[in-house]
Amino acid sequence: MTTSIVVDDVSKKFTLRYHRTLKQVTVAAMRRQELSNTFWALQNVSFEVQQGESIGLMGLNGSGKSTLLKLVNGVMRPDRGQVLTRGRIAGLIAARAGFHPQLSGRENIYLNAAVQGMSEAETKRKFDDIVEFADIGRFLDSQVGHYSSGMTARLGFSVAVHVDSDIFLADEVLAVGDRPFKKKCMERMKEIRDSGRTIFYVSHAPGSVRKMCNRVIVLEEGRVGFDGPTDEGISYLKYDNKADDEDDTDDDLGADI
C-alpha cells in the first residue's frame, strides 16, 4: 500500500505578542513587562497515513488540529521534524481561505481554483458544476466581501471538491451553512472517500466522524493522545453518547488552532 502522508517528529511554535504600538512596547519595556511569549502548538507529532485512509482529526479547541492540517497542506512549515505528502492536495482549511473580498464570486472561483492547483482550462471545464454545487444564485457576480460566512464556505467547498486530488483536507467545512448544504457536503465527501482518495477530516462531531472515517487521531495540547479505530478514539474523548450524535453535523465546530 502506498504511503500518502508522513508526519515525522513534528513541532510548531507560535509567538504571542502582548503589545502592538511603539508606545505600548516602550512603556512595557520600561516597566520590565513581558513583550511576547512563545508556545508550542504541536510537539513531537508522528504518524503515517496510507493512500485511501479516512482520518478523523479530533481534540479540544486549541489542541493543534488546524495547525497540523496547515502543515500537511504546506501553507506552514514545521519548526522541527518534517511533513511529507504524495500527490495533489485539495480541500477547505478555512472558510475564507483563497478568496479576495473585492472580487466577485465568479472571479474568485478562478482565483481559488488556481490556488488549489487547477489550470484555467480545467476550471472553465468544471465551472458550471462548481456553480451548481455552490448554489449561491444571483450572488455569483457580487463581491465575496459581501457574502456571509456560509456563502463563502459554499463556494470554497464547491471549488475544493471539484479538484482532482490525491489528498482531501477538510477543516470547519461543516461549521457554517444550513443543514441541507451540510448534508450535501457529507455526501460529496463520502464520494471522495469511496474513490480511494485520502481524507483528513477535522471535526468535533462524532456522528459525522463515524460516518466518514476509519481511523481517528486525537490531539491533546499539541501531542498525539490517541491513534486508532474510530469508535475507540471517540470514546477516548468521551464523545461516546450515540443517542446525541446520530445527526450532529450542526454541532461541528471545526478548530481554531
Reported as a single tens digit per residue, the pLDDT across 150-179 is 888 888 889 999 999 999 998 865 655 677
Closest to 65 measured CA to CA, from 177, 203, 181: 203
Average pLDDT for 25-39: 71
Is 61 in a helix, a strand, or coil? coil
Q: What was the pLDDT predicted at 151?
A: 87
Instruction: Spell out the residues 6+ positions from residue 234 whose beta carbon is closer than 8 angstroms to its own.
Output: 58, 206, 209, 210, 216, 240
Instruction: Evaluate if residue 256 carries a pLDDT over 50.
Output: no
Which CATH number does 88-165 carry? 1.10.8.100
Average pLDDT for 68-78: 92
Instruction: Evaluate if residue 250 carries a pLDDT over 50.
Output: no
Contact assessment for residue 176 and residue 165, using Cβ atoms and an 8 Å cutoff: no
Contact assessment for residue 51 and residue 74, using Cβ atoms and an 8 Å cutoff: no
> What average pLDDT does the structure give for the chain?
85
Q: How far apart are the first and last CA of the chain?
A: 32
Average pLDDT for 97-126: 90
Average pLDDT for 135-144: 90
Region(s) of the chain under CATH 1.10.8.100: 88-165
Angle at 13 between CA 11 and CA 14, to 5 degrees: 160
Region(s) of the chain under CATH 3.40.50.300: 1-28+35-87+166-257
pTM of the model: 0.81
Alpha carbon 25 to its chain centroid, in Å, reads 35
Is the domain defined by 1-28+35-87+166-257 classed in CATH 3.90.1170.30?
A: no
Q: Per residue in 168-220, pLDDT tens?
A: 998 865 655 677 888 888 888 899 999 999 999 998 888 889 989 999 999 99
Closest to 133 measured CA to CA, from 112, 113, 156: 156
Q: What was the pLDDT predicted at 166?
A: 94
Q: What was the pLDDT predicted at 241?
A: 56
